[in-house]
Copies of this chain bind each other. A is one copy, B any other.
Amino acid sequence: MSANSKSASAGKNVILSSVRDTLRGAGQVMFQESAWTGLLFLAGIFWGSYECHLPQVAWGAVVGLIVSTLSGYLVDDRDGSGPQGLWGFNGILVGCAFPTFMANTWQMWLALVICAAATTWVRRGLNNVMGRWGVTSYTFPFVLLTWIFLLASRQFSALGPVTLSAPELTEAVPGAIDTSFVSLVIYWLKGIAQVFLVDSWVTGIFFLVALAVCSVRAAIWAGIGSAVALGTAFLFQGNTADIAAGLYGFSPVLTAIAVGATFYKSNYRSALWALVATVVTVFLQAGMNAFMAPLGIPTLTGPFCIATWLFMLEAYKFSGKKQHAQASVKK
């Protein structure tokens, strides 16, 4: 083999591994260190955002994913976060959220780039703090920074929050809701799709398949999480518009995957623990909705982060803990 073809092959390998690390960033949103899962997530986002006539959301996801991965290469070359896809999962969520809630201006895209890049070092900073107690920041860098920029959009006209709900002291009264079996399945699938802020049941199927490609257990727990959220929301008579759009589901889905399929070994004790955590996440979702109402911003995946901290901090020991890239900080 000539030196030339060797270097060409090495170059090709670098490109391939960069693409793989980037796509794993998409997969890590639901804790899967798999480029194929990430690719299918992206496919689901493209399907859903074009279906909803919001193509900018899909392209935002791509931009956010790439920018935050690049930011990781620049400021965070000190451990194995990159190959595990830990740079991109906050950035892709920033990329989904910005065009969903703000106007499609060039300033919005500039803000998206700044915010997606910042998730990398904010993640490291928060993990430096939280790592001492066996938890990490999960998607909180995305949540915190996006809250800041969405709030800022109320003062910065150029970010024009066209689709942010108006601040209000009390929520609208819930109305009637279709409870046919088909409707319930649609709400259930949307609960999974809303993890990436997509309001499409087809996207929910994409995501379940994407999870199953890497971990059937994760796919099952995603399904359980959305179902438990749906049941709890009906039992306590939640806001029907939110139920129908899957908005009670996305945080419990993440909690269920995290506690049920990621951080603990599989047994009946950890399963019970995951179920309780999932139910508490639904109350956190409703409570944070009410907390955010006067501010007019969404909770994002904040309820998942808080619920998972409350349950992981306790370091429940009856079932063994598993190793996972997002489980703890490297020393």
B294 touches A152 (CB 8 A): no
Residue of B nearest to A132 (CB): B132
Which of B75, B111, B157, B295 is A316 in contact with, Cβ under 8 Å?
Answer: B75
Q: Flag if B314 contacts A121 (CB, 8 Å).
A: yes
- Report the contact-size class of chain A (Cβ under 8 Å from the partner): 35 or more
**Residue picked from A118, A155, A284, A295, most chain B C-beta under 10 Å:** A155
Assembly CA distance A309 to B124 (angstroms): 12
Complex contact B152–A286 (CB within 8 A):
yes
A126 in contact (CB, < 8 A): yes
How many chain copies? 3
Interface string of A230-265 (1 = CB under 8 A from B): 000101111100100000000000000000000000
Pick from B111, B237, B289, B314: contact of A124, CB below 8 A: B314
Q: Smallest distance from the beta carbon of A94 to chain B beta carbons, Å?
A: 13
Q: A152–B290 Cα gap in the complex (Å)?
A: 7
Q: Is the CB of A235 within 8 A of B107?
A: yes
Check A287 against B236 for contact (C-beta < 8 Å).
no
A154 (CB) vs chain B CBs: closest residue: B290
Which of A36-44, A50-58, A143-151, A219-227 is the interface stretch? A143-151
State the CA gap A75–B202 with chains docked (Å).
40
A283 within 8 A of B: yes
Q: Which residues of B contact A15 (CB under 8 A)?
A: none
- Using known A-B contacts A154-B290, A158-B235, A236-B159, determine if residue A111 contacts B283 with beta carbons closer than 8 Å: yes
Point out the residues of chain B lying under 8 angstroms from A290, CB to CB. Answer: 151-152, 154-155, 295
Contact of A294 among B169, B284, B312 (CB under 8 A): B169
A151 to chain B minimum Cβ distance, whole angstroms, is 4
Contact B287 A148 (CB under 8 A): yes
| Cβ B169 vs Cβ A286 within 8 A | no
Q: Quick one: given A133-B129, A286-B152, are A107 and B236 in contact (CB under 8 Å)?
A: yes
In the complex, chain B residues whose CB is within 8 Å of the CB of A242: 155
In the complex, are the beta carbons of B155 and A166 less than 8 A apart? no
Contact of A158 (CB < 8 Å), options: B114, B237, B288, B316: B237
Chain B positions within 8 Å of A314 at CB level: 75, 121-122, 124-125, 128
Do residues B152 and A283 form an inter-chain contact, with CB atoms below 8 A? yes
A residues near B, CB below 8 A? 75, 78, 107, 111, 114, 118, 121-122, 124-126, 128-129, 132-133, 147-152, 154-159, 166-171, 174, 233, 235-239, 242, 276, 279-280, 283-284, 286-291, 294-296, 309-318
